[in-house]
Structures are given as structure tokens and as C-alpha cells.
Structure 1
Amino acid sequence: MKTNQNTKIEAGNVYLVPYERGHVLKYHEWMKSEELQQLTASEPLTLDEEYKMQESWRNDNNKCTFIILSKEVYNKSCQNEIDSMVGDVNLFLNDDEDLTTAEIEIMIAEPAARGKGFGKEALLCMIRYGFESLKLETITAKIGYSNHPSISMFTKLGFQEESKSDVFEEITYKLKLTDHIKQFVIDSIPQYEIVKYR
């Protein structure tokens, strides 16, 4: 999405930066993992396909993608984004007739970065970006039956089960962005700030 191509989101422990060509090689290495393929319902791509995918997502007005960086590693590594990458978070506006609703996806790909709160903080940042910058009113998420950590995280943030698909073995959750939810998100990430990227 070109809307966020110059946007960097800073929070307490993470930075969110636009998914750029320079990130693709490490992202491609992540996606060779069968575990991540299963968790994200993804098919393995060649490196060339991954580069084309990144370019298409960047130019697609309905796909808002960010790479999640560990703030600690970033600041210790002379601002090396590649060394700091821990995952990604995305908003997909899948309905051209309703641009107030988007589907959110999050992945903490680096095993050593899991269980440290990066996912929750990145998710909260993306939700806030969604209602403040993209004017979203509803966010949905599709989570596999066996992905218990994600189910726990999303439900604790207020997402409610909407439907189940035994065919795809996934649950669809929905979060209505009420004033109460918005205030909860804002209070949960007080260090949230949008700054110019590059």
C-alpha cells in the first residue's frame, strides 16, 4: 500500500516499517519453514516470486504491510533492519465496497522472538493505525484451530468468534472498533508514534 510507504510506527519494544525489497531475502528464508507455512496457510514461493509479491503488495491499495523490528536489536545493531526483523503484520481491505473493514494478520517468525510481547504490541499498533489512519471500523482475523497462542492473544484483546470453517480448520474473529475498544488500544500502547520513514 502506497499510503504507508513512508510511515514508520514506533512503540515501546517494536518498530513497524514498510515491507521493502531489502527485507525480502530474510522473509523468504522465514517462509521456507513448514511450521510458518502451516500457521499462515501459505504456499512456498521461489525467491523471484517473493520479490514480485512484495512489489505487488506495495502497489496494492488494499494491502497494508509492515515488517516488525525488535527495537532493542535495531538500536544495538547500528539501525540494521535486517538483523532486527522478527515478523510482519498486515491489514487487508478485502471488500472494495466496504473500506471500513479489514482483515489483520500477524506473524512472529523468529523463534527466539516469540513469547516476548512483540506480537501483542505490533497487533495493537496495527489496530490503532487502522482506526486512526485508515478509518477502519471493524477488523477481522482468521486463525487456525490449532494456533492456540494466537487465539488467546486475539480474544484477550476483545476479538469475538464470528464463524468456524471445518474445511479450512480456522475460526474467524471480529473486533468492532467502538470508542471503548479504541481507548483500550490507545491506553495499551502509550509510546505509539508515527514518524517519517526514510
Structure 2
Amino acid sequence: MLLKDLLKGENLYLTSFKEEDLSIFESWYNNIAFLRSYDMVAAFPVSQIELKDMLKDIRQAHDRYIFAVRIKVDNRLIGVTGFENILWNNGTAVIYIGIGDTLSRGKGFGSEALALTMEFGFEELNLHRIQLNVLSYNEPAISLYEKLGFKREGTYREFIHRDSKRYDMYLYGILRSEWEHKANK
């Protein structure tokens, strides 16, 4: 029996982070525009030492996975994806993605990377439900999530304060049966 080569897509593959990736990862964590779309916490620079510690913590945790997103043709690191807050007894997890390489945005890499991560979650981790949060101003991400089958399930009104304005945070989710139905089309 030939098993599927999980974590490999047409243009990308997902790997672990390597020591030599830290300088690129650090540049993303020093890009405030990236951070304001990627995370809900205050956008502040993070050093390589802090990122190394964060990666170590994730690798040692039992409720989180992190992957480096790489382009196949040149092995270039362009993003990060993974799961956090995995509740094994319920089969649920929060998924995340960020394409840190600005030149790689808008080319379908985010869609492919997120689809690979979802496939890993449903097929390898045996998850029943994958969910995520997105800020209302992040329209490209919202479009991506809906294209991949996520359903908007709720809104935290005026959740985040950025640039003297309040923005909603949307809650999205997809069930295994919905993902299977979409994958088999």
C-alpha cells in the first residue's frame, strides 16, 4: 500500500524550523505589519533567542505543532503554520498561518500551506474540528479561510484596538465531515 506523502503539496512542503531559519523568522517578528495580521497581542519585536525558546517550548508541548512553510523549488522559508490549543479528548484544535515573506503573498501559497496543515490535522492527528480566529480587517485571510471551507461561527465585537479604532474578531470553524466533503469534490 502506498501511503500519502503528508505535508507535501504541489509547490510547497511543511518542515520543522531549523537553526538557520531563525534570522528569517526574526525578521517577520520585527515586521509590525505582519504581526498585526498574524496575532492578537501587541505587536512588538522578538529576538532570535526568544524565538528559539518559543520553538523549543512548542516542540516539548503536547498540545501544539509548528511547521515551516517552504517552497519546493528552492527550499526557501516563506511562512509558518501549525496548531495550538489541541484538546485531544474532544478532537479539536486552533489552526494558524502566516506568510512572512512579503513577495510570496497573493500567489496561492497560503491556501496550499493551510490545506496541507488541515490535511495533517484531520488525517494524521485525527481531529474532528479545526477552528481559528481572524480580525475583521484581515480581508485576504477571511477570503482564504472561506475558500477552504471554514464557516464563520461568531463574532467578538470590538475585540481589538488598533490605531485608535476598534475591530471585531471573527470565529471560524470546519468539521471533519465538511472538510471530507470539500476534499472529495
Deviation for aligned residue 1:157: 1.5
Contact in 2 for aligned 1:20/1:54 (Cα 8 Å): no
Deviation for aligned residue 1:8: 7.0
The alignment partner of 2:23 has SS state of: helix
Map 1:18-37; keep pairs closer than 5 Å.
18-37=16-35
The match for 1:184 is: 182
Q: Cα RMSD between the aligned structures? A: 1.9
The match for 2:149 is: 158
Q: In 1, Cα distance between the equivalents of 2:60 and 2:183? A: 28
Contact in 1 for aligned 2:155/2:169 (Cα 8 Å): yes
Distance 1:186 1:57, change over 3 A: farther
Contact in 2 for aligned 1:138/1:175 (Cα 8 Å): yes
Q: In 1, Cα distance between the equivalents of 2:103 and 2:18? A: 23
Amino acid at match of 2:176: L
Deviation for aligned residue 1:48: 1.4
The alignment partner of 1:10 has SS state of: coil
Q: In 2, Cα distance between the equivalents of 1:102 and 1:29? A: 27
Work out which of the residue numbers 111, 128, 150 in structure 1 matches 2:102.
111
Q: In 2, Cα distance between the equivalents of 1:144 and 1:89? A: 17
The match for 1:194 is: none
Instruction: Tell me the TM-score normalized by structure 1.
Output: 0.79
Distance 1:132 1:10, change over 3 A: same
The match for 1:3 is: none
The match for 2:169 is: 170
Deviation for aligned residue 1:97: 4.6
Q: In 2, Cα distance between the equivalents of 1:8 and 1:57? A: 20
Deviation for aligned residue 1:21: 3.2
The alignment partner of 2:117 has SS state of: helix
Q: Deviations over 1:142-165 (max 9, x none)?
A: 111100001011012211111212
Instruction: Tell me the TM-score normalized by structure 2.
Output: 0.84
Q: In 1, Cα distance between the equivalents of 2:11 and 2:47? A: 32
Distance 1:137 1:96, change over 3 A: closer
Contact in 2 for aligned 1:8/1:17 (Cα 8 Å): no
Aligned residues: 170
Amino acid at match of 2:101: E
The match for 2:80 is: 88
Are residue 148 (structure 1) and residue 139 (structure 2) matched?
A: yes
Contact in 2 for aligned 1:21/1:55 (Cα 8 Å): no
Amino acid at match of 1:108: I
The alignment partner of 2:56 has SS state of: helix
Query: Relative CO higher for 1 or 2, CA cutoff 8 Å, sep ≥ 6?
Result: 1
